[in-house]
């Protein structure tokens, strides 16, 4: 909700105020200097999380595809022993996705922790 007072539009919504401040910040001279420490820390944190997500997703997807091949061996090609073995390998890959995600996330966070702590202390 907004109203006009003395030719100036006043916004009551917190979201609108935040959006206006973001737009205004783009045009301030200090905005042209480069990323702030907060932005740098956010990027480092996002990069650590995205690397872990990629590792976990790839492992889960590959495991799912391998399990599908095992099901195909069992149901279509009538190779039950091979189908069960390949299916179990695929299930192991699916099961390894979450622990792998956690491990990579911890490793990446440990790697970027000193830089993030330095940026947040300034």
pTM (2 decimals)? 0.71
Report yes or no: 115 and 36 within 8 Å, Cβ to Cβ.
no
Non-local CB neighbours of 108 within 8 Å, separated by 6+ positions: 47, 48, 49, 51, 52
> Mind listing the pLDDT tens digit of every residue in the chain (122 residues)?
455 556 666 656 888 888 888 888 778 776 566 778 888 999 999 999 999 999 999 999 999 999 999 999 999 999 999 999 999 999 999 999 999 999 999 999 999 999 999 998 87
Q: Where are the domains of the chain?
A: 1-34, 36-121
Cβ atoms within 10 Å, residue 3: 9
């Amino acid at each position: 909700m907004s109203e006009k007072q003395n030719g100036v539009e006043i916004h009551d919504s917190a979201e609108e105020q935040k959006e206006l401040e973001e737009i205004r910040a783009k045009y301030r001279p200090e905005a042209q200097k480069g990323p702030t420490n907060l932005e740098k820390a956010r990027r480092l944190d996002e990069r650590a999380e995205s690397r872990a997500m990629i590792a976990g997703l790839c492992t889960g997807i590959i495991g799912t595809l391998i399990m599908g091949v095992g099901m195909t061996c069992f149901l279509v090609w009538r190779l039950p022993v091979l189908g069960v073995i390949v299916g179990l390998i695929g299930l192991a890959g699916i099961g390894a996705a979450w622990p792998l995600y956690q491990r990579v996330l911890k490793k990446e966070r440990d790697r970027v922790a000193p830089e993030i702590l330095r940026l947040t202390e300034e």
